[in-house]
Structure 1
């Protein structure tokens, strides 16, 4: 068998050996390292046929003379001889190449599109699915190489909301669109309506616990916002085809459930913080001054102190006291108490490290305020520092682990 396969790719000749010393001929040839295969000898005949490599044919002559046998060449076979024959028939060669090229090109086109429902009842018109597929690029005469199956399935689901699942595959030049329709629950059943759990954010899956439904991702997978994490559509497992003596099993249809589970993922947040290189601190000195002002309609009377603050730097607090009300009548008089607190201003030039750290803390504070309640911070790092005159900008990347799953009814997708 090995020589038969080898013969397909090697150049060899078929010979006929005639003489009384045929056995001696074979023995001498084999001792010299020559190889024969497909040796055929008819009963009662003084001849036998065999195949040998082309390079060994010239070495048979001294063997034939020594054993007094005659060697006759019957046929030449192999790529070298095929090529010589084809060169003399150029039009046949060109035609064969064009035929194979055409066959290859035609087999890479879609010539038929079929819609295969995966349920007992098909409420969606198959021609509608075909029309949507044609708009998305899948139609007879389309080159399969330019089709993105994932994008095609997504577009069909968007345009035909009655479908819960779409799968596109190719068998030769036929495109099969397998579809599963949604089963919409009544209003009182919406609490248990079929639903997916989808990703609310981009991330890398770190933990998944499926309580109901079928996981579409696993730990370590990268997901994008809107990807299905736990599907409410449970697809049957592919089983091996039954043997010749086994009874074929009834097909198991997909089931719709309300997906339940926990999907935690590593997510990343970015924020920018700024810090002035000059830090100004204001502190109270303990000195204060109070002014009492009586306000009436159209005028103000200073009873104590001054309207002008007595300090160059200060903080101000004001309190308004109105006259009591008597029988739904209020005197249009107010007493305003203004208190001025003296402050001292301290200026300090921050080092580059201090400014970067201050801007980083500002960015982290902003990020932490936006984190979900059960998020777990994994790491924090500065990814960019920009210096401007008197100012430092810092961009911070925070990595956290959190539950990114959101339940969404199939009817809403």
Structure 2
């Protein structure tokens, strides 16, 4: 694509070669590093190709050597366009003025629309349009001269019924998106029913408001327990609030690890325990005590029976001889084991819908040959907890 654009800037020609010797012509042109492209055989004796306008003189020399006849079929590119317009100055001026006019018109505001984001009860759309016009947002003004953030803030401050306002441009139309305020600042401390709260510390990334009064916007930092969306007069709030959350996990692994392996099959002991605490070994024999570097692990399972009105417990104990050996890990193996430990901690903290955006790891070699790692995950997830309105009696 870049080569085509450069060819258009410098100008190129479409050539037809006749007279034989076309193969030699191509080889000789390539040897002289003349760029040619879009090579097509139209007939056995007719070759079509494209070449830069600046290489035409050299191509004529090559054609003369090879006995080929060159004919220019078309010329394209900026130099030829300029040459064409030089002889038609009125047309050139007209094109420039037309383009400038289109650009100027595209910068103007043709219409202003107020778009409520929900059903309005007290807010008057005509009042919003009138105040916006007084503040300079009206058809015929240059959009580039408007400070939309300042306009939105002024609209919100002068019309108390507005809880949220956003101004956006869509071509030559400016849309004023508004939401009506149903809960006022002095009432917010009592706006607890049906509200949406932050369930963790986060940086707000997205607020998808369905119903309610948003108390935060993109870029706000919130703490766990902060109010995100307050309910309207009907006591309901519905929204999806997503935020960036940072989780930290820690793991460590020693370069020298103990490995425990079973030594033989387990031995099972079965005992009966009466209600008075007395035990009776039914069958089974404990395994021999392992040699140095071993141990015996035990697992028990209890079963209770009622025999002639007397509670009797049957206990099964599995005794397993185990060998303990020392294994030396490589640096990479120890780091991987430490990371897996940190990963388990992080996975337990994350929400089910969390999407990991970024990861940072910091490894450190501790005394006694232990590798540690601090892992930080940056995640995007929903951070709101929805409290249902209590039923009124």
- When normalised by structure 2's length, the TM-score is 0.49
Pick the structure with greater CA Rg. 1
